Amino acid sequence: MPKKGGKHADMGEDGPAQCKRAKMEAGCSPSVMSFENPDSLFESLISPIKQEVFFREYWEQKPLLVQRNNPLLAAYYQSLFQLSDLKELCGQGLYYGRDLNICRCVNGKKKVLNKEGKVNYMQLKKDFDQKKATIQFHQPQRFKEELWKIQEKLECYFGSLVGSNVYMTPQGSQGLPPHYDDVEVFILQLEGEKHWRLYKPTVHLAREYNVESEDRIGSPTHEFILKPGDLLYFPRGTIHQADTPPGISYSTHVTISTYQNNSWGDFLLDAIPALVFDTAKEDVALRTSIPRKLLMQVDVADSMKKLSSLLRRLADCLENTRELRSSDMKKDFIMNRLPPCLGCDTDTLTPGGKFPKIDSKIQLQFRDHAVITVEPDQENSDENRREMVYVYHSLRNKRETHMMGTEDDTASEEGTPQQTHGLRFPLSYLDALKQIWCSSTVNVKELNLASDEEKENLALSLWTECLIQVI
C-alpha cells in the first residue's frame, strides 16, 4: 500500500500504470464552480480537461484522474459534506437502510453492521471509531443544497438521473470489497485521503452491480491516492476498491453517478413497441398471423427468417420517421429528477409576471425540466384511444425523495400516490408546442393553431405551469 502522500509517478515499470492525470495549480485555477448553465458546470467539474477531450478519450472508455493543488477548490469540496455534519443530520431523523448504511469489508465480503430503526449519533460514532466501519450516506443532495445545485445541473447536462452517496471511512479500513457498478462514476475527494485501486473490467459497460473476488480481478491497472479537491472518473463496469491509508484519520468522498439504464438497448426497449404499433397500422405484413403453433415450437429457425425480414422492414420505416417515441424513459426521467434549485426560500413555483394574451411575446423557461410526448389518451380507456400530446415537467418534484426508490417515490407526505406533473393537449397542438420549444421567443398570435382562442389557451396553460414567461 502506498505511504501517506507518496508520489505514485515513481513506481517501477512493473507497477500499476498511471491513470491519465491532469495537474491544476492553484495560481491558474478558475473560480471554484460555474453554475451559469449545465455546460459550464460540467466544464468546471472536470477542469482543466475540456468537454470534447473528455467525451472523445474517456467517457465509457477509461478512467480519468484529475489531481489538483488548489486550496480554494479543496475547501469548496469540503463544504459539500463533512463527517462533522452527521451529528446535526442525525437530529433530523435518519434511519438505517433508508438514509445510511454501516459496513466494512471483511475477507473480501461486505459486512453490514446496521442497527434497527432510527440512527443514534453516539452509536454511529462508536461504530465508526471502534469497529472501523464505513458510513455510506445515501443521496445527500436531499439535505445539502450545494449538492442539489450540482446534481440538478448535471441532470440537465446529461438528460439522465444523477444520484450520489457519501462514503466516510476511518484509517486503515475499507468499506466495500472489489466490485463494479452499472453507472458512470465521478468521485470528489472531500476530506482526508483515499487509496484507490482500479482493475480491468470483466464486463464492459456493465448493466448491473457485481462483487468480484480478488483471485479473479488480477493486479490493478491503476493505483493512486486521492486528496481533497481531486476528481476521479471511471466508466460503468470498472472494477474498483478503496481504503483509507494508515496515518490518515479518516476519508470522506462523494460518489456522483449517472447513466443507469440509459443505453441504446434501453432506448430501443422503450421506443420499439410504439414503432411496431404505428408501422402495423400502415404495413399489412406486420398484421399477418404468425404460423400455427409457433408459440409451442422448440425449433423456430424458419420463423426467425421471417422475423428478420420484418425487422428490416421496421428499420426501413425508421429511416423515414421524423419522430421516435420514448414516452416511458422520458416520463421516468422527468418524474424522478431534481426540481430546479432556485436559491430562494419558496418550495413551490407560482406563475408571475405579465398574463399572456394574443398579442404577447412569450419565452420558454426551464427548458431542461420539461419534455413533450405523444401517447394514447390516458383519460380514455376505450380500446381505440386517440393520440394526445403531453407536456411533463419536474418543477414540482420533491428534492426530499430524489433517488430514494419506489417506496418513497410512490407516496407523498400525505400518503397519496405521486403524480407526474404536466399538461394534456389535442394532437393538433403539437406543432405549436414545437414552435415554443425550438424558438428563443415566439409571438402568441403566430402559433401554429387554428384559432386565437386555442393560441391563448395554450399560452395560458403553459404560463400557469410556470413553463413560459411573457417578455
Query: What Rg value do the Cα atoms of the chain yield, rounded?
Result: 26
Contact (CB, 8 A) for 448 and 432 = yes
> Which has the higher per-residue pLDDT, 379 or 167?
167
Cα separation, 230 vs 103, in Å, equals 25
**Whole-number mean pLDDT of the chain?**
89
Mean pLDDT across the stretch 445-467? Answer: 97
Per-residue pLDDT tens over the stretch 212-256:
999 999 999 999 999 999 999 999 999 999 999 999 999 999 999
Three cell numbers written together for 422? 404536466
Read off the DSSP letter of residue 379.
T
Give the Å distances, CA to CA, from 44 to 61, 66, 73, 353: 21, 12, 11, 33
* Order of strands, sheet of 239-243, starting from the edge strand that comes earlier in the sequence: 210-211, 179-180, 239-243, 194-199, 222-226
Residue 344 neighbours by CB under 8 Å, 6+ apart: none
Exposure letters 352-368 (e unless 16+ CB within 10 A, then b): eeeebeeebebebebeb
pLDDT > 90 fraction of the chain, expressed in percent and rounded: 77
- Residue 346 banded pLDDT, cuts 50, 70, 90: low
Looking at residue 321, its pLDDT comes to: 78
Mean pLDDT across the stretch 38-43? Answer: 97
pTM: 0.89
Per-residue pLDDT tens over the stretch 9-37:
333 334 454 455 565 544 444 458 999 99
